[in-house]
Structure 1
Amino acid sequence: MNKKFVGTGVALVTPFNKDLSVDHKSLANIVENNIKNGTDYLVISGTTGESVTITAEEKKEIIKTISNTNQGRLPLVLGIGGNNTLSVVEEIKNTDFTGIDAILSVSPYYSKPTQEGLYQHFKTVAEASPVPVILYNVPGRTSKNMLPETIISLANDFENIIAVKEAAGDMHQYLQLLKDKPKNFLVISGDDDLALSVVLAGGAGVISVIGQALPKEFAKMIKLGLEGNVKDAYFLHYKLMEITGLIFSENNPSGIKAVFESLNICDATVRLPLVEATAELKQKITQALKEFK
């Protein structure tokens, strides 16, 4: 089993300055804070990192800032995915994987391929990737659910497909994956609200959004879950429940950036077509954080 990706991974935000340029200083601070407070690995340039509005040049600079701050302390996962299989392969070929431990590759969005299309897409990605591949199923964003049987087929057929970040928000689907998966294949929760339940059912952990702002408590909850300490884990789950719900109530990453703004860690600025969290949501988040502390 790939122990590197057991526990709490966080899908890092890309902080922006008011002029929409990347705020590398705040990014380095977020990374350092996560390393010191129990996060197990870092995910670069996922949905939460606003990957769709980041240029190729900016992506390189973001990787550099995170790598330089991390200094090899935690495993790094890089988001490389899309709905044009050939351009995903092209990006893989042109990426310097020094210090990168795996890629996280999202299921093709917008095109709505069949299950066979999804299988062939990831077969092509796996064959091109020099590092392990974590599949990412998020039907709420892609408008196509990658079924457990497709994921299991890929897991059985390709040695370097080592895990899935499952984010269909469907507990039955998680259980199906956990029941049928090959022994060393990891089922990672992509739903913060279900993460503990998934871990207790046999999941490997989570790639979290809220975890990067409250790493100490969130990582501890997952660790307790992995140890089978249900009572203490659920105590933290209930404590985190309100703030976790709030950050997704408008959109991600506007919600988590509002949390960071409230904690004076970075600005709440996002790039269009996203807009900042509303004043009402920001107020609720500030209040929830006060109660949480």
Structure 2
Amino acid sequence: MTAPPPVYVPLVTPYTASGAVAYDALEALARGLLAEGAAGLFALGTTGEPESLEPDERAAVAELVGRVCREAGAYFAVGVGGGRDLGPWPVEPDALLATVPAFVRPGEAGVVAHFTALAARARLPLIVYHVPYRTAQPLSARALRTLAAIPGVTGVKYAVGGIDADTVDLLGDRPAGFDVLAGDDVFAPALLALGATGVVAASAHLDTAAWVRLAATGDRALGHRLAARAAALFREPNPTVIKAALHAEGRIPTADVRLPLLPARPESLAAVAAVAAVGAVDALPPGVRPAVRLGT
């Protein structure tokens, strides 16, 4: 039986009341997500506020998350922003998540040249993080196929803020061995239905088992519920509302974020509560287990 698309969680970075990184809470959160069925974890992605962490904090977070993943036999990726810091890492990741260059808008040819050079320097597989509403750099399906042909580029975290003709084009003729990971939580159920090979969902901090079941079964009603929940969790800049929800559940010690982010407003947390929690889900069908490795 073919393994269902894996669900990966890009971890928040919890803080103590004094503002330090709450490493104990981070470890407990990481272990809990894997126990709920997440196939792996992404450290130092946008959800983890990497630009607000000191270099020693980033290294410690990556080491902790990597250790937890290795002990659990789970997938482990590290966000490297535009690719300035490619390691080495205390625990070697399975892949590096590198963002399409932001602000400079180099054009598709410039993006391809950038990732060609990056892949030549990196010792590890690269996942392209394509999020044009943050980077201001659109990419066509043709450009993404060109990126897929670069040795060492193994996938894309696809977060374009919707579903357009390029989305349908790419997923309708996905390059062999190139993973397309749904990276925009509200649209992730639809992308799975179109053929995405996995999910990287910050909202899967909550309702983790339900996300795993969605990937395994394609349950349309469940997908609608998870999309509605995700919309509530993204009412304010990520990860502010997710942290507020995790704190309300007692899973992290504070809901704090670091500047330039501000804590979520009470009404945003109330909006999450107003969307009925998905709650417990039935066990996956016999013999069906989420995949742990990319490259399907």
- For Structure 1 versus Structure 2, the TM-score category normalised by the shorter chain is 0.7 to 0.9
Equivalent residues in 2 for 1:187-226, closer than 5 Å: 187-225=180-218
Q: Name the structure 1 match of 2:147.
A: 154
The yes-or-no answer on 1:75 pairing with 2:75 is yes
2:18 maps to amino acid: D
Once the 2 structures are TM-superposed, how far is the Cα of residue 4 of structure 1 from its aligned partner? 10
Q: Deviations over 1:78-118 (max 9, x none)?
A: 10122xxxxx35x21x4226341001111111222111111
Once the 2 structures are TM-superposed, how far is the Cα of residue 200 of structure 1 from its aligned partner? 1.7
Once the 2 structures are TM-superposed, how far is the Cα of residue 124 of structure 1 from its aligned partner? 1.1
The yes-or-no answer on 1:29 pairing with 2:28 is yes
Q: Is the 8 A contact 1:262 1:286 kept in 2?
A: no
1:249 maps to amino acid: R
Q: Name the structure 2 match of 1:274.
A: 261
Equivalent residues in 2 for 1:1-293, closer than 5 Å: 6-70=5-69, 71-82=71-82, 88-89=83-84, 91-92=85-86, 94-96=87-89, 98-156=91-149, 158-172=150-164, 173-225=166-218, 233-266=219-252, 267-288=254-275
Structure with higher RCO (Cα < 8 A, 6+ apart): 2
Q: 1:165 to 1:290 in 2, by over 3 A?
A: closer
The whole-number CA distance in structure 2 between the counterparts of 1:134 and 1:4 is 21
Q: 1:170 to 1:241 in 2, by over 3 A?
A: closer
The whole-number CA distance in structure 2 between the counterparts of 1:106 and 1:4 is 28
Once the 2 structures are TM-superposed, how far is the Cα of residue 72 of structure 1 from its aligned partner? 4.7
The whole-number CA distance in structure 2 between the counterparts of 1:237 and 1:283 is 21
Please give the TM-score of this superposition, normalised by the length of structure 2. 0.87
Query: Where in structure 1 are there 5+ consecutive unaligned residues?
Result: 83-87, 226-232
Q: Is the 8 A contact 1:28 1:69 kept in 2?
A: yes
1:60 maps to amino acid: A
**If each structure's helix is expressed as a fraction of its own residues, which one has the higher value?**
1
Once the 2 structures are TM-superposed, how far is the Cα of residue 221 of structure 1 from its aligned partner? 0.9
Q: Is the 8 A contact 2:226 2:278 kept in 1?
A: no
The whole-number CA distance in structure 2 between the counterparts of 1:96 and 1:215 is 27
Q: Name the structure 1 match of 2:283.
A: none
Q: Is the 8 A contact 2:181 2:197 kept in 1?
A: yes
**What SS does the corresponding residue of 2:127 show, helix, strand or coil?**
strand
Q: Name the structure 2 match of 1:230.
A: none
The two structures, once aligned, show a CA RMSD in angstroms of 2.0
Report how many aligned residue pairs link the two structures: 276
